[in-house]
Amino acid sequence: MEEHRVFEIPQLKEAGDMKDRRNFRDLPPTYIPMRNGIFYSVAASYAEEVGADYIIGGHNREDVEVFPDTSPAFFESFQKAIWAGSRLLGERRTTVLRPLQLKSKAEVVSLAAGLGVPLERTWSCYREGSRHCGECEGCRKRAKAFSEAGVSDPLRLA
């Protein structure tokens, strides 16, 4: 059975929206503290509910440069935490897998193109809207990855 669930977390703030940015000066204004940790905790809750054997994340090796909650150390600790924090996840040995963790963004784009992933349905922009802005960090990194991979981006702005 396929299920699509929307989980909103409107209280999360980007560093650029915080009154006191002292702790976040060296990070992009779109950085959200512990965002990935929160997402994986929600995924663990869902995995417990449905009896999943795996939680699969799509982080690549470049994500660690900005997001510490995508690092190997984080996931080693997180894995232990979900087993200790949930009897069912511990008994099942539900495992967090990160198959792209050693690949660059360009390698991920190349792999996706080779697998026929519908890249026109992917979203990289940090801004809301119906189209990518083409200017934010997410859009710039996307453009660079597609260029380095030699793959035409189906969302490329005219």
Residue 96: closest CA among 137, 158, 40: 40
**Computed from CA positions of residues 24, 63, 33, 18, in that sequence, does the dihedral angle turn out positive or negative?**
positive
DSSP secondary structure of 5-40:
-----TT---GGG-S--GGGTTS-TT--TTHHHHHH
Instruction: Note the pTM of the prediction, 2 decimals.
Output: 0.85
Q: Write out the two tokens for 87.
A: 């009897």
Question: Chain centroid to CA 128: how far?
Answer: 17
Q: What is the pLDDT of residues 46-62, one digit of tens each?
A: 999 999 999 999 999 99
Q: What's the residue count for the chain?
A: 158
Report the percent of the chain where pLDDT is more than 90: 64
What's residue 97's pLDDT?
97
Q: Is the pLDDT of residue 26 over 70?
A: yes
Q: Where are the chain's structural domains?
A: 1-102, 104-158
Q: Is the pLDDT of residue 131 over 60?
A: yes
With cut-offs at 50, 70 and 90, classify the pLDDT of residue 22: confident
CATH number given to 1-102: 3.40.50.620
The lowest-confidence range among 90-94, 121-125, 147-151 is 121-125
What's residue 128's pLDDT?
80
Question: Chain centroid to CA 95: how far?
Answer: 17
What's residue 158's pLDDT?
45
What's residue 147's pLDDT?
96
Q: Write out the two tokens for 79.
A: 């894995």
